[in-house]
Structure 1
Amino acid sequence: MDDKPKYKRRIVIIKRALQFKYIAIVLISMVLVAFTVGWDVYYTVGRAIMELETPGLYPIMVKINNLMLGKLAVLLVIVFIIAIFVSHKFAGPIFKFERSCDTVADGDLTYRVHLRSGDELVELQDKFNGMVSEIQKKISGDKDSVKIVVEKLSVISSRLSQKNISPSELSEILGQINGIIAELNKISSGFKI
């Protein structure tokens, strides 16, 4: 038996603009915090060194500065990689919803969204699937009503094609037509258009 997961992530960058915007926000926030804290620490330490007037501490401070910048670069790369995978947790479902909307718009009301475990937007998946189910029920009911109306119209058409129609038969046919009109009004009332 195959132990591979049903949905395997093959493409991590699926919605470039959205994901890179998210990644940029995360990285810029991280850099701003790092530089703000770094500036504050170095300004405070630098003032203390200036007050001590110890020339041997300056090279140590430069080494620490270079070490901190190197660590910042490594952390930026790590955060970038993490941000890609985290952004995929919602970019993937958004991509799936876009395709699902297209499928439903093309008329496939049997289609349902199924997200991978661990993806975000599961609540939206449930709402979307519920919405499509309700539309499917309404249209299915309308389809059944249309079938009945077509059958009634066929009977009326064949009766009207007879040459001799009595006034009572004509009155009965008019009653059936009024019933069909009421049925058609009921069909169109299920949606706001």
Structure 2
Amino acid sequence: MVGIARYRDRTPEKTGGRLMAEEKSFQRRTVLVKRNLQLKYAAVVFSAVGFTAIIVGADIYYNMIRFIQEADPGRMSDLTNVIRMGSVKLIIFLGIMGLVTLFVSHRWAGPIYRFERSAQVVSTGDLSHRVSLRTGDDLMELQDEMNAMIASLQRMVQKDRTLIDRLSGRLDESIKQIPDNASGDDLERLRTDLKALREEIHHVTRAFTV
């Protein structure tokens, strides 16, 4: 008699396992996890703060010049020294701010990297995978939502697999019940069973919108 083979595709497991191994081997030893994204973020913050500092500094400089010219014009050289020192301090401040910005961006750039890797693993068919962020990382709510989505997909696929296994078992039984010298009644009964199986097969993956 003809048997029904159960479908097993191990390619997703192998591919997902390779990606998981790469993810586990990944350690955030460097600050620039997502280099382009973090540098762009740092540039935006740096530009905004730098522009604000220049505007405020220019306003203070203008008002101080007016005040000294009216009060004591001979102290203009002192003002020049103050401005020079202030400029050096501003440059140091902006440099420190840039480094702090990179470290701050590291807290969400790391999770984004993990989400990307997890999406690649799930896309191979590994629905047992779950996103796992480090303690203290940002985007923990997104981690919970993504894990809930993967778990929901896993339940739906498991339900469909259970249905397929049950239908395959029924089809095996129907085939085994056909005698070698099948009569017209036997074939009619088989036809009826196959129609019923066809109706149930329509429920497979019905939960998905494609």
Q: Does 1:65 align with 2:79?
A: no
SS in 1 for 2:73: coil
- Structure 2 distance, partners of 1:117, 1:164, is 67
Q: Write out per-residue CA displacement over residues 58-88 of structure 1, whole angstroms, 9 at most, x where no aligned residue.
A: 1111111111111111111211111111101
Q: For residue 44 of structure 1, what is the amino acid of its counterpart?
A: N
- Structure 1 distance, partners of 2:183, 2:88, is 98
Q: CA deviation at 1:158?
A: 3.3
The equivalent of 2:203 in structure 1 is 186
Q: Does 1:143 align with 2:165?
A: no
- Structure 1 distance, partners of 2:27, 2:150, is 26
- Structure 1 distance, partners of 2:154, 2:188, is 37
Q: Which runs of 5+ in 2 are unaligned?
A: 1-25
Choose which of 174, 185, 192 in structure 2 pairs with 1:175: 192
Q: Which moved more, 1:8-17 or 1:40-49?
A: 8-17
Q: Write out per-residue CA displacement over residues 79-130 of structure 1, whole angstroms, 9 at most, x where no aligned residue.
A: 1111111101111000000000000111111110111111111111001100
The equivalent of 1:14 in structure 2 is 33
Q: Which moved more, 1:75-84 or 1:170-179?
A: 170-179
Cα RMSD after superposing both structures: 1.8
Q: Does 1:79 align with 2:97?
A: yes
Task: Give the structure-1-normalised TM-score.
Answer: 0.89
Q: Which runs of 5+ in 1 are unaligned?
A: 1-6
Q: For residue 136 of structure 2, what is the amino acid of its counterpart?
A: G
Identity %: 33
Q: For residue 41 of structure 1, what is the amino acid of its counterpart?
A: I
Q: For residue 74 of structure 1, what is the amino acid of its counterpart?
A: I
Q: Does 1:43 align with 2:62?
A: yes
- Equivalences for residues 24-173 of structure 1 within 5 A: 24-52=43-71, 54-160=72-178, 162-167=180-185, 169-173=186-190
Q: For residue 29 of structure 1, what is the amino acid of its counterpart?
A: A
Q: For residue 111 of structure 1, what is the amino acid of its counterpart?
A: H
SS in 1 for 2:136: coil
Higher RCO by CA contacts (8 Å cutoff, separation 6 or greater):
2
SS in 2 for 1:56: helix
SS in 2 for 1:187: coil
- Structure 1 distance, partners of 2:27, 2:112, is 17
